[in-house]
Amino acid sequence: NYANDAPKIPAGAVPAEDADLITNLIQQGPVKMKLVLTPQTLPDVESANVIADIKGSEHPEQMVIVSGHLDSWDLGTGAIDDGAGVAVSIEAANLIQKLHLKPKRTIRVIAWMNEENGEAGSKQYAKDHEKQISNHFAAMETDGGAGHPIGVNIKANGEVKKMFALVANIFSPIQDSRFYFNYHHTAADTLDKIVPKELAENSAVVAVMAYALANMERPLPR
């Protein structure tokens, strides 16, 4: 996408493997490259978010969202961005059910559609649930790969951040993303980049966070 007054300069995403190859070639002497860029903008098609609920035992009308997004760049298979996030969200809910836990609030798993080029899925969800927004207690998204969890990113006011300060230093759904951008939005974003153990770690962390949020005694300040 370009701004109306911006020149349309061609751009391409290069995987880390190709960047390393180019670097090695340049070190050996002058390099001449030919880029064949084939992107095109196709007409919109109808798709959908995928939604599943673990119904709350005391406040079923209140929602804690756990989510990732279904779509990906078409160069790769979208394993890291964001198949991993969808898998983590589903497995987090699965863990809660396997342990026979009963969250007080509803835990809603959402696999968003159309995050990459417009966020139409989340925007449509917000529109469809406009009258119920006040019942959405918290929302989590896993969209940073599936590396070992190392921190927390809370987008909220200062009072909420203070409430989670102790937990933030222990674990959270932020992944070790040192290698994420080696494959992000390239043909190298494939299943072999996923480490099952780290995927399981993320699922456990998200499950704990979601269950804790669903059982908080007092509402989060808005």
DSSP letter string, 72-109: --TTS--IIIIIHHHHHHHHHHHHHHHTT---SEEEEE
d(CA 129, CA 146): 30
In the numeric block, the tokens 């929602």 are attached to 63
DSSP code, position 220: P
> Do 142 and 67 meet the contact criterion of CB atoms below 8 Å apart?
yes
Residues 6+ apart with CB under 8 A from 129: 136
Catalytic-labelled residue, pool 115, 141, 159, 217: 115
Angle, CA 109 vertex, CA 105 and CA 110 arms, to 5°? 130
Identify which of 187, 192, 200 has the alpha carbon closest to the alpha carbon of residue 146: 200
Enter the tokens of residue 183.
């494959």
> Do 183 and 72 meet the contact criterion of CB atoms below 8 Å apart?
no
Examine the residue annotation and report whether 217 is marked as an active-site residue of this protein. no
Write out the catalytic residue numbers: 115
